[in-house]
Amino acid sequence: ALHLPVAVRDRMWRVAADAEAGFLEALAGPDATAVADRLCRGASSALRDHPADIWPETATDPDCAGALETLARRLDLAPLSRQALTALPAWVARPTEQHQTTLRLLMRDADAIGEGGAVVMMEMLFSHLPDARQMVRVLIQAAASLGGAQFLMHSELGDPIARMLDGVEERSKRIAAWRLAHEGSADEAVGQDIVWCAAMLTELEISLSPSPDSPWGRAIRTHTSVLSAAVSRIMAASQQAVETALPLARIQLAGRMTRLSPSLNVPFAGATADEARRGLLMLARIHGSAHVLGCEAERSRIVGELTDRLLAWADEALEAVNGGEVQNEANALGLVRLAADALELIE
């Protein structure tokens, strides 16, 4: 992404606005687009003709000079990108042949304005898309007549997809590092990471249909495997947390006979109970993504086992309370409420 000091923006606006002072009032009228295009062209020329007036550091810092040139290239393409935005919803959804032709012509015109113009144009359009998956669809449409995914893989137009895969890898590391024992502030973010990664991997697989032996095909397969293992560990930890918060203890029956019964002496509140609730919330967050990652059967099994255990645990605990068999009735009822909360979270 291009990041510039606010002062650079302000100086650039002053230079462009001074040059087109007679047209500024028209920005509020029906000719606003034409005036905006003039302002962008004027700002682009000013950046190249008088860079030191807009960003004095460009005289001594090559990075600043490069950033200004990048900005100038975007300003060159601004009029074209404004036209393209009207067709962007169609390119994201179900483009007709006419829409696809329009997109190919846009890429050609962008390249004609300057070297690498098509890549810059895509970056500009992507800034208007709220979902990274939509970017994949537009890229595929743009490359459809040039070899599709195979072309993207070996061109600069494929750079956004490489960054998406890097994003999946980065989020996968956060997911793998998550533990119930850690502070709960990261739970929601990790849950969102799982949903994002699953959705992105699905979109890449469907839209690109990469060869299994291609770099992208291997990357998608590897990331899916890593995520599946991490999610399986999270689900197992969540199940264990519930069983720890609502444990079973072996009680003596007649002779040598024993059976497992709810342990009603553990505290109903505290870190252990909190971890159980957080674990169940993670199970709920994973629900929609488990199928994509190949672990829906495991999630369904864990949910079923927990549901059966919690129902039986709560029923038996209530029987013990009603039968006067517990020493601390308030704590026992607190544990029953915890079991009821857990069942609600599962559902």
- Across the chain, what does the average pLDDT equal? 87
Residue carrying structure tokens 């989020």: 171
Q: Please report the pLDDT score of residue 302 as a whole number.
A: 93
Would the pTM count as exceeding 0.85? Answer: no
User: What CA–CA distance (Å, rounded) separates 221 from 28?
Assistant: 52
Dist CA 68 CA 62 (whole Å): 10
Q: Is 209 helix (H, G, I), strand (E, B) or coil?
A: coil
Q: Which amino acid is at 73?
A: R
DSSP state of 262: E
- In the prediction, which pLDDT does 111 show? 86
Looking at the predicted structure, is the pLDDT value of residue 206 above 90?
no
> What pLDDT, on the 0 to 100 scale, is given for residue 63?
83
- Residue 229: its pLDDT value, please? 94
Confidence of residue 320 (pLDDT cuts 50, 70, 90): confident
What is the three-class DSSP state of 235? helix
212 and 231 in contact (C-beta within 8 Å)?
A: no
Question: Which residues, in sequence order, are CB contacts of 115 under 8 Å at separation 6+?
Answer: none
Confidence of residue 219 (pLDDT cuts 50, 70, 90): very high
150: Cβ–Cβ under 8 A, 6 or more apart, which residues? 214
pLDDT tens for each residue of 20-45: 888 888 888 888 889 888 888 888 98
Q: Rounded to whole angstroms, how far apart are CA atoms 230 and 236?
A: 10
Mean pLDDT is lowest, of 56-65, 80-89, 119-128, for 56-65
Cα–Cα distance measured from residue 220 to residue 215, given in angstroms and rounded to the nearest whole number: 9
What pLDDT shows up at residue 226? 94
How do residues 247-277 score in pLDDT, each as one tens digit? 988 776 666 777 778 888 888 888 899 999 9
The token pair at 203 is 């979109």
Q: Which residues contact 278 (CB under 8 A, 6 or more apart)?
A: 180, 184, 187, 241
**With pLDDT > 70 as the criterion, what percentage of the chain qualifies?**
96
DSSP 256: T
Q: Is the pLDDT of residue 3 over 70?
A: yes
